């Protein structure tokens, strides 16, 4: 979806660029009007040379300002100088060029600079026209045209910059959404597969030890491995689709089976309370992560799960009686993902030494959790 969005934005950008060039060239074609008027005035050779050099230079500068991202201040000054030179030295109708200069300054400069550019070009226009001694209606009409057109393009330039910022913000949000979705998928796959693959490995080892003396019991373990493999595949598909929301009761039941297979006794207290779906999902992931860690690392013989639900906060604590850790536990991918899930709904995750000397995991979430919006 993000790639399609970028392609759509790129296509729109190209179309806008082509239309911009077409509109600019069409607008610039009106410069032909004062050029035609100039040919009817019986100009001197030096005036012809002035127009022949000045008019193409003005057109080039106007296009460079209007259609590129170059710094426009120097070209705008040059355009103003050319407009003054052609108006005073060749033909007063070249005062039309001031409209182009004000428009270019208004659309390309931002903030106070654009206001100063439009006002400055208008003032220069008034002073230049005063030297040509035009009719009063022509004088004020052209000054109004310069000021009005420059202000209009000043406003259009602001809208163009705002639209560009919105497009960039949308692209950034799309990229961020893709990154977050990848992180969610990686986190879910780790949590899902870490638990089931640990149990599959455990049962495979047990089946190997049972063969060849206890074939029936080994066959049972192999059947369990096949069932777990199919279950893991289903859960991965659900995780990829984004549909899976683990339930606390089912995770506790699955943890009990896995722990008993590993020779660990599970004791559960206070898990019957009705919980908000978001809060229950986080606690269910905590049970899965805790059971996986006990099976893999703890060397424990007993694990306790206590759920305490209050009107504001629900807390789940997992503690085992293993040898414990020499120092602070290393924050692996599982604990990191669990902490991210809890924090997304305003919860917390704490780890320390348990009451029986082993590892303790404490997860606290709002009883009525709702996902936080950054």
Lowest-confidence pick of 75-84, 200-209, 294-303: 200-209
My answer on whether 254 and 140 are in the same domain is no
pTM (two decimals): 0.45
Domain boundary among 135, 158, 174: 174
Tell me the residue range of the domain where 275 lies. Answer: 247-374
My answer on whether 170 and 301 are in the same domain is no
pLDDT in tens, 353-364: 877 778 889 999
My answer on whether 140 and 33 are in the same domain is yes
My answer on whether 166 and 283 are in the same domain is no
* 333 falls within a domain: yes
Provide φ and ψ at 319, rounded to 5°.
Answer: -140, 140
Sheet containing 313-320: give its strands across. Answer: 265-269, 302-309, 313-320, 359-366, 348-353
* 94 falls within a domain: yes
* 242 falls within a domain: no
My answer on whether 154 and 284 are in the same domain is no
Q: What is the CATH number of the domain that holds 254?
A: 3.30.565.10
My answer on whether 25 and 148 are in the same domain is yes
pLDDT in tens, 166-181: 877 777 776 776 677 6
Number of domains in the chain: 2
* 186 falls within a domain: no
Lowest-confidence pick of 235-239, 301-305, 356-360: 235-239
Domain boundary among 140, 174, 208: 174
Q: How many CB atoms lie within 10 A of CB 151?
A: 18
* Kind plus residue range of the DSSP H or E element containing 108: helix 97-108
My answer on whether 168 and 268 are in the same domain is no
pLDDT higher than 70, residue 284: yes
pLDDT higher than 70, residue 104: yes
- Say if CB 209 and CB 180 are below 8 A apart: no
* 141 falls within a domain: yes
My answer on whether 141 and 275 are in the same domain is no
Terminal C-alpha separation, the chain: 22
- Say if CB 232 and CB 221 are below 8 A apart: no
Domain boundary among 154, 174, 194: 174
What mean pLDDT is predicted for residues 179-194? 69
* 166 falls within a domain: yes
């Amino acid at each position: 979806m993000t790639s399609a969005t970028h392609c759509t934005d790129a296509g729109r950008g190209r179309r806008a660029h082509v239309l911009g060039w077409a509109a600019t060239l069409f607008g610039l074609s009106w410069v032909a009007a004062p050029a035609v008027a100039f040919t009817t005035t019986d100009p001197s050779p030096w005036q012809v040379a002035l127009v022949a050099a000045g008019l193409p230079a003005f057109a080039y500068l106007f296009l460079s300002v209007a259609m590129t991202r170059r710094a426009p201040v120097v070209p705008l000054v040059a355009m103003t100088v050319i407009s003054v030179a052609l108006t005073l030295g060749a033909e007063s109708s070249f005062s039309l060029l001031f409209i182009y200069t004000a428009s270019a300054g208004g659309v390309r400069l931002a903030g106070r600079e654009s206001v100063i550019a439009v006002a400055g070009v208008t003032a220069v226009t008034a002073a230049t026209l005063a030297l040509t001694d035009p009719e009063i209606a022509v004088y004020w009409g052209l000054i109004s045209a310069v000021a009005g057109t420059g202000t209009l393009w000043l406003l259009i330039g602001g809208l163009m910059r705002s639209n560009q910022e919105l497009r960039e913000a949308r692209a950034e949000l799309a990229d961020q959404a893709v990154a977050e979705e990848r992180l969610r998928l990686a986190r879910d796959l780790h949590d899902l597969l870490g638990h089931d693959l640990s149990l599959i490995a455990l049962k495979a080892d047990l089946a190997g030890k049972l063969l060849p003396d206890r074939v029936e019991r080994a066959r049972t373990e192999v059947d369990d491995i096949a069932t777990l493999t199919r279950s893991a595949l289903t859960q991965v598909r659900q995780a990829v689709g984004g549909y899976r929301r683990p339930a606390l009761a089912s995770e506790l039941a699955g943890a009990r089976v896995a722990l008993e297979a590993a020779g660990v006794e599970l004791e559960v207290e206070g898990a019957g309370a009705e919980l908000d779906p978001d809060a229950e999902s986080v606690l269910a992931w905590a049970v899965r992560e805790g059971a996986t860690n006990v099976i893999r690392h703890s060397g424990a013989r007993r694990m306790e799960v206590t759920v305490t639900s209050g009107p504001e906060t629900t807390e789940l604590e997992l503690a085992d009686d293993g040898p414990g850790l020499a120092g602070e536990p290393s924050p692996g991918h599982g604990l990191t993902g669990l902490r991210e899930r809890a924090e997304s709904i305003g919860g917390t995750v704490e780890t320390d030494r348990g009451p029986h000397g082993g590892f303790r995991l404490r997860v606290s979430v709002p009883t009525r959790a709702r996902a936080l919006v950054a």
